[in-house]
């Protein structure tokens, strides 16, 4: 069961190792790897948080607003990039133990995609996030971005 404290592990400062496909929809595209830093602040006594991730390699920053809906016992994750200044459509879902899975719909390069975010291996010292897209309504998924979070030394 999900709770307003599922993302407490994420509060604070992080170093992030990215692995990202050069083409999010092409399974044969190359991967690029780069570092970044992230900072997450709790809000609403833990039932919300906001983080900013600084990705110099991409020449951009990202922002995620996470909100817990106590009636549905689920989270909405709302992403924005400094490049656009707009919110992408949210993904929603919940945690089961140390794994959270979140789904939503979006458009990428003019194609409708189903989006999946997965948080796994969460602890106070480390976590993994991955993004996958599906162009067939969730029958098959292509992982196109992973981030491994660790606390600064």
pLDDT, tens only, 126-146: 999 999 999 999 999 999 999
CATH hierarchy code of domain 8-150 = 2.40.128.20
Q: Are 133 and 118 spatial neighbours (Cβ–Cβ below 8 Å)?
A: no
Integer Cα distance of 136 and 114 in angstroms? 8
Q: Are 108 and 125 spatial neighbours (Cβ–Cβ below 8 Å)?
A: no
Q: Are 49 and 42 spatial neighbours (Cβ–Cβ below 8 Å)?
A: yes
Average pLDDT over residues 37-60: 97
Average pLDDT over residues 83-108: 95
pLDDT at residue 153 above 90? Answer: no
pTM above 0.75, yes or no: yes
């Amino acid at each position: 069961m999900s709770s307003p404290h599922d993302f407490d592990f994420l509060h604070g400062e992080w170093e992030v190792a990215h692995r990202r496909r050069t083409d999010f929809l092409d399974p044969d595209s190359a991967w690029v790897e780069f570092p970044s830093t992230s900072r997450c602040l709790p809000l609403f006594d833990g039932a919300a948080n906001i983080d900013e991730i600084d990705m110099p390699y991409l020449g951009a920053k990202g922002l995620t607003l996470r909100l817990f809906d106590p009636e549905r016992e689920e989270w909405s994750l709302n992403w924005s990039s400094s490049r656009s200044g707009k919110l992408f459509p949210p993904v929603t879902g919940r945690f089961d133990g140390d794994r959270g899975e979140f789904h939503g719909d979006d458009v990428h390069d003019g194609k409708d995609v189903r989006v999946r975010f997965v948080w796994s291996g969460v602890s106070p010292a480390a976590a993994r996030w991955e993004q996958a897209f599906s162009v067939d309504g969730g029958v098959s998924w292509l992982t196109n971005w992973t981030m491994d979070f660790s606390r600064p030394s």
